Amino acid sequence: MRSSIGLGWVLGMLLAAPAQARSPEQHLAAAITFPTISHESTTEFDVAPFLALHAWLETTYPQAHRVLQREKIAAASLLYTWPGSDASLAPILLTSHLDVVPAPDPESWTHPPFAGVIADGFVWGRGALDDKAGLVATFEALESLAGQGFRPRRTLLVAFGHDEEVGGEQGAGAITQRLEAAGVRAWFSLDEGMAIAEAGATTLTDLPLALIGVAEKGYLTLKLTARGAGGHSSTPPPSTAIGRLSRAVVRLEERPLPARTQGVVSDMLSAVAPHTGGIQRLVLAWPGLFGPLIGARLAKEPSTNALVRTTTAVTMIDGGIKANVLPREAAARVNFRLLPGDESAEVIEHVRRAIDDPEIEIEVETASEASPVADVESEAFALLSQVIEESAPDVIVSPALVVGGTDTTHYSKISDNGFRFLPIRFGAKDFERVHGRDERLSVENIRFAVTFFERLVRRAAGEPEVAVRIGGALRSP
């Protein structure tokens, strides 16, 4: 752990005052100047920018901090509670994360990644999309509500983990433990993970698609190891350890796990079907009947293939020490992203059968099962869908599968309905900016997100009777 104070943080603190005179985009730009970076190595963790960001939040959002009860969790995570007037109601949990991934090759960015520049209608910098937009938009909404004298009927919990980009064990994991110990069961939680895909950003429909992540894939990394006797390369055996390992890798890639269109993907296709035409509408409306056809079509592109199968990715390989020395050992790492319903043990058995070589050792390095699937027939999902439709009347709302990972992996332990949706619009090329170069968010988007969160809190935690439409009938949660 190391500690330092940089010019960016000082500028961020200066931008915080007076809070009421600053716009959401200016606050997002200021938040970006805090380099709250998560590194794979824990020895590189620098707590100072996180603590500086904490102080900036208190200065920038005084009305919110007047009504919220604040707890610092673990090294740098935050948990806020806004008590509701009716303790019999299950709370709602809004979450974002404070950390960002590193920004290598900063000189290649249009604007420096931690400068927090506003230019050409965008806020530029690392975290603009993932996930300081969620952090700032949530606080902007809470500040506005507190300033208007809003009082929640349902308790509102707001959590910000500090290590989501490296698994969230110390941040969201610790927050979850804290809430579990207090006996908390949330009505629903809302995290990042999916967004509004603009027209043309997906192959499913020509209309904007608001994707609510209702589950996320599991994560399994296996180490495959082949061993040999070693020796001099002048007298090699028919196959070296590297050759045996290479055959195993080829066999594994040639035998992917089967595609499936049941579950979340089926629900998504059924939601999109009424907004398509011709034969496509018929096929999508009956994913159970046309599953093989749909699966084959979606499997043609990496982005959609990940929706219908547990994917196989050989990501690392090493072996040998010198060009004229036979290797005694060669190893490969293979990463699998598990569909809900597929379990790690089943995938490992698939690997054994696929490589068909008992001399290849298989070792589990990391394993996390797929998340539970939130209920798309629930009142919570209906309410969230209505708020999205009220905020963006042009979109189609659909459940979706998150192929990456979010902190909801942890928060799902305290809620049966973990949703993943950040209220911003993504164009086709914006997906490349997440964890990539020139990350940015439009001014229009951050303002839209603020309006969304304010409307959501009012609808979910405010009025005593909030009607939501389920199956054609109006009910109150």
Let me know how long the chain is.
477
Considering 140, 164, 191, 342, which one is annotated as catalytic?
164
Alpha-carbon span 95 to 411, nearest angstrom: 9
Q: Identify each DSSP E strand in 33-98 by its residue range.
A: 69-73, 77-82, 92-97
Q: Could you say which DSSP state residue 288 is in?
A: T
Alpha-carbon span 334 to 311, nearest angstrom: 10
Residues 6 or more apart from 210 whose CB is under 8 A from it?
195, 196, 197, 388, 392, 395, 396, 397, 398, 421
Query: What is the residue-wise DSSP string for 82-137?
Result: E--S-TTSPPEEEEEE--B----SGGGSSS-TTS-EEETTEEESTTTTTTHHHHHH
Residue 306's H or E segment, with its range, is helix 302-308
Locate 150 and state its tokens. Answer: 């809003």
Residue 99 annotated among the catalytic residues of the structure: yes
Pairing of strands 92-97, 425-426: unpaired
Cis peptide before 358 (omega within 30 of 0): no
Residue 53's H or E segment, with its range, is helix 48-60
Alpha-carbon span 145 to 229, nearest angstrom: 70
Considering 99, 140, 191, 407, which one is annotated as catalytic?
99
- Angle value at C-alpha 462, between 380 and 196, nearest 5 degrees: 45
Q: Which residues are catalytic?
A: 99, 164
